[in-house]
């Protein structure tokens, strides 16, 4: 459905591999893409996110709503915590995520987000630029939450 379905169709049409991970309840509602290269059916959304994280080479936030935001924020948080070393990017089509980028800058200015953690998110306004930047993204250095002096 939506952008994820359109992206899967484009990948398949170009000869690529499209892998889906969906909770059984959504598959039973006939929301699953029927032409995927692989479809992993899991029981919960938590299992979905864990398996998607294991299968992914990178994480990209497309224009979307709460579900997209939540899954991407969790992937960035896991990167921040060192739970994976996979790049995270935002496709900021037509400025869709300008407000999110402003919120990130505001959180950093107010001391709720370290600039190094904010900078873990790669932002581009076109797919080619984003994919290029993700492909050459350095592995983040260890980022600590708090130093001894900040406690």
CATH number at 90 reads 3.40.50.450
Integer Cα distance of 76 and 119 in angstroms: 10
Same domain for 36 and 93, yes or no, is: no
Please tell me the total count of domains within the chain.
2
Residues 121 and 76: beta-carbon distance below 8 Å: yes
pTM for this predicted structure: 0.85
* pLDDT band of 100, cuts 50, 70, 90: very high
Q: What's the half-sphere exposure (Cβ side, CA atoms, 13 Å) at 23?
A: 10
Same domain for 65 and 133, yes or no, is: yes
pLDDT digits (tens, 9 = 90+) for 31-81: 788 889 999 999 999 999 999 999 999 999 999 999 999 999 999 999 998
- Establish if 70 belongs to a structural domain: yes
Integer Cα distance of 100 and 106 in angstroms: 10
- pLDDT on residue 72: 96
Q: What angle do CA 143, 62, 33 make, to 5 degrees?
A: 120
Same domain for 85 and 38, yes or no, is: no
Integer Cα distance of 140 and 136 in angstroms: 12
Owning domain of residue 97: 58-137
- pLDDT on residue 4: 83
Residues 73 and 54: beta-carbon distance below 8 Å: no
- pLDDT on residue 7: 87
Residue 103 above 70 pLDDT?
yes
Same domain for 75 and 23, yes or no, is: no
């Amino acid at each position: 459905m939506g952008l994820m379905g359109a992206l899967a169709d484009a990948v398949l049409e170009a000869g690529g591999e499209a892998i889906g991970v969906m909770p059984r309840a959504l598959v039973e509602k006939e929301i699953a893409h029927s032409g995927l290269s692989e479809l992993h059916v899991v029981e919960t959304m938590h299992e979905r996110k864990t398996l998607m994280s294991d299968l992914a080479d990178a994480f990209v936030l497309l224009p979307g709503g709460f579900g997209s935001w939540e899954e991407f924020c969790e992937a960035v948080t896991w990167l921040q915590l060192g739970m994976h070393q996979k790049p995270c990017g935002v496709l900021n089509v037509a400025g869709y995520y300008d407000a999110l980028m402003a919120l990130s800058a505001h959180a950093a200015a107010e001391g709720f987000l370290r600039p190094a953690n904010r900078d873990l998110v790669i932002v581009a306004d076109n797919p080619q630029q984003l994919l290029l930047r993700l492909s050459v993204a350095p592995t983040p250095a260890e980022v600590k939450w708090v130093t001894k002096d900040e406690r």
